[in-house]
Amino acid sequence: MKTKIKYTDEPMGKVRVVEDFLPSPEELALKDETVKITISLTRRSIDFFKKEAELHNTQYQRMIRTLLDEYVAHQR
């Protein structure tokens, strides 16, 4: 950054407190138990997840696992 930031003591306007919604460090450190399985998926599905995973800098298997976990959570 070449330009300096000028800080002022001006009023910020209407401010409100936001409820803490972030998980605790303990919750972030816990990992769900996983089970390795073999599954056959269509080439179209795998190509989609691989492309999206690359765009979002993640693993396609993780995306599929998260999708299934979300589906299960909404079925309960």
CA 29, 30, 32 angle in degrees (round to 5)?
Answer: 140
What local confidence, expressed as pLDDT, does residue 1 receive?
60
Res. 41: pLDDT tops 80? yes
- Confidence class for position 53, pLDDT limits 50, 70, 90: very high
pLDDT, tens digit (0-9, with 9 covering 90-100), for 13-26: 888 888 888 877 77
Domain range list for the chain = 41-76
Query: Which residue in 53, 58, 70, 60 sits closest to 39, CA to CA?
Result: 60
Taking the model in full, what pTM does it have?
0.59
